[in-house]
Amino acid sequence: MLDPRDTILFDEIDENGPQSYSRTFSIPAEDLRRDEVIGVGPVSITANARKGELPGEYVVDGSFGFTADMSCSRCLEPYPFASSADFHVRFEPRSETPRKLDEEVEIPPDELDVEFYMERAIPLRHLALEQIQLSIPMKPLCDESCLGLCPRCGANRNRESCTCEEPMGDERWGTLREIQARMKKRES
């Protein structure tokens, strides 16, 4: 049976006032849809949910933390990653009359943390997944100073210095060689 405390129920808040939740989830790396994520450790989340000021609005404040095994986007080596942060999300009812497509919509900065809901139930797991996705960098690096792979032979320059000459001339060719080296490395 589904544990009702896995889910923030707006009806429950209406009836009994603010609610607090604290859960730990195991989330498979595939669910994050990021190639760089190899594995995810237990994800803990706490959330306090209450009614907001606007009609139909609910506010959720909380924090989350998790660890993961990531692969560096420069050298492709796995490295440990950890993140924890606070979050703040406002849920507002999805408007019955959708905004016209040709209407210019400017989203004010304080609407960035707004989500529109249809169902009056928000699974905590969904919140946790969202926060993890936001906390994973666009280009995960094992170290800011990671030297990456040699664009010619694919050697990991953090560990070995190869005898390839530095590519001369056009930078664009260097990038292409780097991609080729990565592909070679992935295949092996």
Interface pick for Zn ion out of 9, 13, 29, 153 (rule CB under 5 A): 153
Instruction: Find the binder of Zn ion among 8, 127, 150, 181 (CB under 5 A).
Output: 150
**Residue 147 interacting with Zn ion (CB under 5 A):** no
Q: 60-89: which residues touch Zn ion (CB under 5 A)?
A: 72, 74-75
Q: Tell me how far apart the alpha carbons of residues 127 and 82 are, in angstroms, rounded to a whole number.
A: 18
Within 10 angstroms of residue 114's Cβ, the number of other Cβ atoms is 14
Dig out the tokens for 104 from the structure: 């210019």
Q: Which of 46, 152, 167, 185 binds Zn ion (CB under 5 A)?
A: 152
Asked if 146 touches Zn ion (CB under 5 A), the answer is yes
Closer residue to Zn ion (CB): 9 or 164: 164
* Residue 142 within binding range of Zn ion, rule CB under 5 A: yes
**Region near Zn ion per CB under 5 A, out of 5-13, 94-102, 114-122, 161-169:** 161-169
How far is residue 47's CA from residue 19's CA, in Å, rounded to a whole number? Answer: 8
Q: Is 183 in the site for Zn ion (CB under 5 A)?
A: no
**Nearest residue (CB) to Zn ion, 59 versus 150:** 150
Burial 66-86 (b: 16+ CB within 10 A, else e): bebebbbbbbbeebebeeeee
Query: By C-beta, is 13 or 153 nearer to Zn ion?
Result: 153
Question: By CB under 5 A, is residue 38 in contact with Zn ion?
Answer: no
Q: Does 157 bind Zn ion (CB under 5 A)?
A: no
| Nearest C-alpha neighbor of 135 from the set 50, 46, 34 | 34
For Zn ion, the closer of residues 128 and 142 by Cβ is 142
Instruction: Count the site residues for Zn ion by CB under 5 A.
Output: 11
Residues near Zn ion, by CB under 5 A = 72, 74-75, 142, 146, 150, 152-153, 155, 162, 164
